[in-house]
Amino acid sequence: MSNKLEVTDRFSSEQWEFIATLDAFGEAISVDVVSELSPLKPKHLLQVIQDGIQLQMIQQADPGELCLDPDISAVVRQKVEAINGRDRLNHLLEGLTERNLKDQVPASAMVCLLTRTGHFSSAAVLERDLARSALNSRRLLEALPHLGNCLQLCAQDMESDSSDVIYLEAALEYSSLAILLGAEIDQAVFTMETAKNIAKKSGDRRTLAMLYFIAKHWV
């Protein structure tokens, strides 16, 4: 039997769903959360974890947390992606809400799932919150990429008024921080110009004035 058949036939369909759920979040996640979303009998859960680690498909991160090995084979990747269609990912998102599990999922993992299900504004809010948390702790270099991610997510959904509001807030913070750090200056200039256009279109004079103030005192 080929290696392809050995791998794909090694697990039941329910166990493959468990493996695919690990992939949905893009990083290490609590095995308890995954088990709630893709329940297995204890012996089948133990088997998929043990065999997955042995086959270098699953990695154990911190105690009680699992993730897919980033170097999984093309066969496994293809299998997982076939399972994780948009409908299933939305079902996982609904399951988190119904079972009150969101607080047990890292914000960055929620960003991944929200992005994959097309909830760009919600993902942008989480990235903004991650940035502000870093700023409050004076972790400036950590905050900048979160703000950049927030802006990129908003750009995926610019037809939404809520995305415009989030974009303008993040643009002010991103541009100010980029100038302060002397980093990503070209992107900061582009962001300010984009934000000016959005502010003009929406009639947000306050944000527009702040953007001009930042640009004037920077130069």
Domain-by-domain residue ranges, the chain? 3-106, 119-218
Q: Distance (Å, rounded) from C-alpha 156 to C-alpha 198?
A: 14
Q: Are 29 and 101 in contact (CB under 8 A)?
A: no
Give CA 157 to chain center in angstroms. Answer: 16
Q: Distance (Å, rounded) from C-alpha 105 to C-alpha 111?
A: 10
**Joined tokens for residue 124:** 């942008």
pLDDT on residue 216: 75
Give CA 217 to chain center in angstroms. Answer: 34
Q: Are 93 and 25 in contact (CB under 8 A)?
A: no
pLDDT on residue 78: 93
pLDDT by residue, tens only, the chain of 219 residues: 445 446 778 899 999 999 999 999 999 999 999 999 999 999 999 999 999 999 999 999 888 999 999 999 999 999 999 999 999 999 999 999 999 999 999 999 999 999 999 999 999 999 999 999 999 999 999 999 999 999 999 999 877 778 889 999 999 999 999 999 999 888 999 999 999 999 998 888 999 999 888 877 665
**Joined tokens for residue 217:** 């005192």
The strand pairing partners of 29, in sequence order, are 66
Instruction: Please give the CATH architecture assigned to the domain spanning 119-218.
Output: Alpha Horseshoe (1.25)
- Assign 21 to helix, strand or coil: helix
What's the CATH fold of domain 3-106? Arc Repressor Mutant, subunit A (1.10.10)
pLDDT on residue 173: 95
Query: How many residues does the structure list for the chain?
Result: 219
pLDDT on residue 139: 96
pLDDT on residue 213: 87
